[in-house]
Amino acid sequence: MINETSQFFAILTNVGAAKQANADALGIPWKISEMGVGDANGTDPIPSPSQTALINEKRRRPLNQLFIDPANPAVLIAEQVIPEDVGGFWIREIGLYDADGDLVAVANCAPSYKPLLPQGSGRTQVVRVNFIVGSTGNVTLKVDPSVVLATREFVDKRVVEELLKFDIKHSVRAATTAPIALSGLLSVDGIQLVAGDRVLVKNQTSAAQNGIYVVATGIWARATDADASIKVTPGMLIPVEDGTVNGDSVWHLVTSPPIAVATTALVFEMLAGRTGVAVGTYRSVTVDKYGRVTAGVNNTTTIAEGGTGANSGPEALANLGGAPLASPALTGTPTAPTPAAGTNTTQIATTAFVAAVKASLDSTSALKAPLASPALTGTPTAPTAAAGTNTTQLATTGFVQAAITAMSTASEVVKGLMRIGTQTEVDAGALDTVAVTPKKMRWGFAANFSPNGYVVFPTWLGGFVVQWGAFNNGSTSAGTFPFPIEFPTGVFSVSLTRAGGTGDLAEVTTLAKTGVTWRLVDAVNGVTTNNLVYVLAVGY
């Protein structure tokens, strides 16, 4: 008899528990497809794990949805809709069947009569079963959507879910211009935010934190329309309502798929909005990849028809943002450069002039001052002889480059070009055709001119090292004298000399790169105290 002490619950059958464990272990989907309802032959059924069928099943049809309980991720909710034209039976027991037709879960419920329309009462009834599984990750719904019914709640939920997947999101109040702390009521782009405002965060140091957030007095949360990977898609558009820099702009997500929210770096770029260029008409503009004007030039200089300088010819066109025009053909008789220093920008260098400069660099005597080129005669043509002796030909850029390339390599008797030698070449000391800079000459040289000091010669002299110092034995007859620096490779020789008088002699017992171990040898009257001994060591 059903009363206030009756218990209603759902459990997995033994078959269902085994299949769920197998799905978890192998990572394969476990598909639940149908729900059956029965009247249990008028009894008050108690679900049993050993059941393989309902006591008296009255109807079995596909599920219309199977989802995880929002309040408990370990609980699955299965739902079936029984239409108003089906009924005439009591519902006391419920069973869930998988794609293989096995009963995998069974439940009891408070008796409910499902009437038929001819009985004078008709209703659409929703039957739900909540059951606990070890893991919901591999449980899936297998249905034919064409044969199931949907509740209004289900339809509303799906409509909202699909809207949240749209690439066009609800507008945000402001967009960031720099990294921010994602908490509290901040000021962003000149806008003082209040709780509930939406913000496009796009400048975080960790780009995985970028996205759409809702402002709160505490920690901000991601907006519900952009808090899951399925809702954050490449090309997503976000309008920005306000802000000094980003107000009235539209941004889009340029990150390539796949995207995992809070893991993938999200990069947003402005698709439409302010670029900082003032309203107006410009003679030359710069356009970005989206067709937006990002810079403008408006030079008011008048181009002169003739003459020289910035207001004429290709220079004036360049000032207006355009490409220089080709220079017109020469007319009249060109003259050779008249200051020979080569500073005049209105005269043409003849091949003879260039050759004279080259000759002055090749001369074995002191470098000569540039020679004046003779006056041009006749109609100028391009150089036909590389010798550079023709006074009627114009020097092309190729001719000048060839003249420079042909310059001699400098030596002790010839002026010309010479490259800087590498440190390896300087150390080897075998070449006489490269130059040595002061830095490379000094490389490896070091010195310390103190009582205990050293001189380390440059690497190109072999890295030869000389060290010196002195010690007083005090009252001991043996000890160690550490060198001021460690010899890089080894020690050639060490000399120990006692300072004046007769008495103990010092000798080396052990020699190392870091120092020398010594002892005093009694020559006259035994070991004495306070012997001053000088040390001189040579190595590399």
> Is a pLDDT exceeding 90 seen at residue 453?
yes
Per-residue pLDDT of 494-525, as tens digits, reads 998 877 655 567 889 999 999 999 887 764 45
Residue with tokens 């002299």: 461
Average pLDDT across the chain, whole number: 80
Range ranked top by mean pLDDT from 37-51, 122-136, 222-236: 37-51
Q: How far is CA 3 from CA 7, 41, 47, 110, in A?
A: 9, 18, 17, 9
Location of each CATH 2.60.40.3940 domain in the chain = 446-539
What letter would DSSP give residue 433? S
> How far is 242 from 253, CA to CA, in rounded Å?
19
Please, are residues 114 and 125 in contact by the beta-carbon 8 Å criterion? yes
* Res. 417 pLDDT band, cuts 50 70 90: confident
Where is pLDDT greater, at 534 or 501?
534
Q: Which tokens go with 103?
A: 């009963």
* Res. 366 pLDDT band, cuts 50 70 90: very low
Per-residue pLDDT of 282-323, as tens digits, reads 888 898 887 788 888 886 655 454 445 545 545 444 444 444
Please, are residues 478 and 517 in contact by the beta-carbon 8 Å criterion? yes
Alpha helices by DSSP H, listed for 73-195, are 152-164
Domain 446-539 matching CATH 3.40.50.1100: the answer reads no
Where is pLDDT greater, at 111 or 278?
111
Per-residue pLDDT of 471-482, as tens digits, reads 888 778 888 999
> Is a pLDDT exceeding 60 seen at residue 170?
yes
If you average pLDDT over residues 248-274, what whole number do you get?
93
If you average pLDDT over residues 336-353, what whole number do you get?
60
Q: Please state whether 437 falls in left (phi above 0), alpha (psi between -120 and 50) or beta.
A: beta
> Is a pLDDT exceeding 90 seen at residue 15?
yes
Buried b (16+ CB within 10 A) or exposed e, 353-371: bbbbbbebbeeeeeeeeee
Task: Evaluate the CA torsion angle 386, 392, 398, 401 in order and state its sign.
Answer: positive
Phi, psi (rounded to 5 degrees) for 269? -125, 150
Q: What is the pLDDT of residue 368?
A: 44
Which candidate, 87, 81, 79, 80, places its Cα nearest to that of 122? 87
Q: What is the pLDDT of residue 300?
A: 61
Q: What is the pLDDT of residue 159?
A: 56
Q: Which tokens go with 131?
A: 């059951």
